[in-house]
Structure 1
Amino acid sequence: MELSQRDQIRSANAGLRSALDAIQNEFDREIDELGEIQHKLAAMKVHATTPNNLARVTVNASGVVTEIAIADDAYRRSTPQQLTRDLNTAIRGAVEAAATARAAVLAPITSVIDGMADLNEMVPGATSLRDLQAMLSRATLTAHEQSR
């Protein structure tokens, strides 16, 4: 092998190492932020009130109802059927708001992962960042459901 060929191989290898180092550094930075993101999701509570303020519904980041508080005079001010409809409306609103809030908390991770080449596309056998993101999302949702 000629000296110029070796230099070309070394240069290409150095370029690949530099690209992988940059990806690894970004990945490490995002992993460090995951703890904060998971804490925010674990602490997230979204509240919604029925239109006539007879009840308040609380859901977690997964959209799971964690609390329903009904006003003491709810049965005098409403019918069971109307209260049921109002509660269902409040629950749907809280679930939608939780999904929006969850997406906002996850946005930094989503934008970074969506914007970069996946590591397994460059290095066969490496961990897929997109698979990791999906796994963490599922784990976070499962943890929230277990904490009810």
Structure 2
Amino acid sequence: MEQWEREQIRSSNADLRSTLDVIQDDFDREIEELGAVQRKLAAMKVHATTPTSLARVTVNASGVVTEITIADDAYRRSTPRQLTEELNTAIRGAVEAATEARQKVLAPITSIVDGMPDLNEIIPGAPSLRGLQAKLSQLPQEPQ
């Protein structure tokens, strides 16, 4: 092998290492950001109150109801049917608000992931950031 060929290979290797170092640095920053996003999602609580303040509903980032508080006088001010309808309305509103809040929290990850090649496209067998983003973005399925 000629000296110029060795130098060309060394130069190509150096360029590849530089590119991979940049990708690794970006990936490391994204992993840190992902940890912060996961903590925010785990701590997220969204509240909604029924239209006539008969009850308050709390949901987590996935839209799962974690708490329902019914006003002490709700049974005197309403009927069971009205309370049920208002609770359903509040739950739907809280789930919609949680979906919007979750999208805002995930926005930094979305913009980063959309702007770069997915890791598994560069390194076969590596985890897919887009797959992780999709997993974090979806709501749990309702039991059948």
TM-score band w.r.t. shorter chain: 0.7 to 0.9
Q: Secondary structure at the match of 1:47?
A: strand
Q: Secondary structure at the match of 1:56?
A: strand
Q: Which amino acid aligns with 2:23?
A: I
How far apart are residue 38 of structure 1 and its match?
A: 1.8
Structure 1 residues 86 and 105, CA, compared in 2 at 3 Å: closer, same or farther? Answer: same
The aligned length equals 139
Alignment correspondent of 1:6: 6
- For residues 31-110 of structure 1, what are the structure 2 equivalents within 5 Å? 31-110=31-110
Alpha-carbon distance between aligned partners in 2 of 1:102 and 1:10, rounded to the nearest angstrom: 46
Alpha-carbon distance between aligned partners in 2 of 1:41 and 1:125, rounded to the nearest angstrom: 27
Question: Percent sequence identity over matched residues?
Answer: 75
How far apart are residue 4 of structure 1 and its match?
A: 2.2
Alignment correspondent of 2:119: 119
Higher normalized helix content (fraction of residues): 1
Alpha-carbon distance between aligned partners in 2 of 1:77 and 1:132, rounded to the nearest angstrom: 46
Q: Which amino acid aligns with 2:73?
A: D
Any idea what the Cα deviations from partners look like across 1:114-142, whole Å, max 9, x if unmatched? 2101222223333333234446x28xx88
Alpha-carbon distance between aligned partners in 1 of 2:2 and 2:127, rounded to the nearest angstrom: 36
Alpha-carbon distance between aligned partners in 1 of 2:126 and 2:65, rounded to the nearest angstrom: 38
Alpha-carbon distance between aligned partners in 1 of 2:99 and 2:61, rounded to the nearest angstrom: 7
TM-score by length of 2: 0.85
Q: Greater shift after overlay, 9-18 or 97-106?
A: 9-18
Alignment correspondent of 1:146: none
TM-score by length of 1: 0.83
How far apart are residue 14 of structure 1 and its match?
A: 1.6
Structure 1 residues 92 and 111, CA, compared in 2 at 3 Å: closer, same or farther? Answer: same
Structure 1 residues 47 and 110, CA, compared in 2 at 3 Å: closer, same or farther? Answer: same
Q: Secondary structure at the match of 1:117?
A: coil
